[in-house]
Amino acid sequence: MKLSSESKLFIAIAVITVFIIGIGIMLMSRPAPVLERSQLLPAGSYTQGNKEAKTYLVEFSDFQCPACRSFQPQVKALVEKNKDKLVFAYRHFPLAQHPLALPAALAAEAAGEQEKFWEMHDYIFENQESLSEEILLSAPEKLGLDKEKYLKAFKDKKYQDKIDKDTSDGRKFGVDATPTFFLNGKKLDLFTSSDLSKSVEETIKNNPK
């Protein structure tokens, strides 16, 4: 049977469509890559918990992100509960739509220079709804920092390169929103903070110290 030009075109389009759909299904069904611990926990990363623990949780976060703030108490509780069996690392991923996210990250790093990174981390999230440059500039008095040293590091953007490295790594690892968590090298798909707790607890159970 001789096919018309229109029929041939229709068949060709159908074949191409099926091929594209097949490729898409194959790509979607492929397991997400597992990243190396050294990739997610580079030297200089701020961590909590047991650095030697088999279970490691890494968060790419934005200090001005409401979702990051909502996850923060759960993360803190997880670390406190499993401090001997878990290491948690915070990495920066300030989003362009949050104008104070980068200044907050710079402030946290400036405080970290005086071993007060986590105190600043909590201070920023606690004041997120009213976050301003004034809040960041008032940190030395609130946290007992050397004001001159802190302000110099903050205003000179001393740790910009570190924050840029975190952001660059995040994009390379597939981070496109905050917070994004990686658990033992695997990117997590979470809907609620309770999903995070379940994933961490299950991983710890399967990877005892």
pLDDT grade, residue 8 (50/70/90)?
Answer: low
Is domain 41-206 given the CATH code 3.40.30.10 in the classification? yes
pLDDT in tens, 141-194: 999 999 999 999 999 999 999 999 999 999 999 999 999 999 999 999 998 888
In this predicted structure, the answer to whether residue 16 has a pLDDT above a threshold of 90 is no
In this predicted structure, the answer to whether residue 24 has a pLDDT above a threshold of 70 is no
Distances (CA, A) of 204 to 34, 118, 127, 181, 198: 17, 23, 32, 16, 10
pLDDT in tens, 27-51: 344 456 799 999 999 999 999 999 9
d(CA 17, CA 14): 5
Provide the residue ranges of all domains of the chain, joining segments of one domain with +.
41-206
pTM of the entire predicted model: 0.84
Residue 159 dihedral angles phi and psi, to the nearest 5° = -110, 25
d(CA 35, CA 120): 29
The mean pLDDT value for 76-101 works out to 97
CB-based contact 185:40 (threshold 8 Å): yes
Residue 156 dihedral angles phi and psi, to the nearest 5° = -80, 0
The mean pLDDT value for 96-120 works out to 98
The mean pLDDT value for 86-97 works out to 98
d(CA 12, CA 58): 47
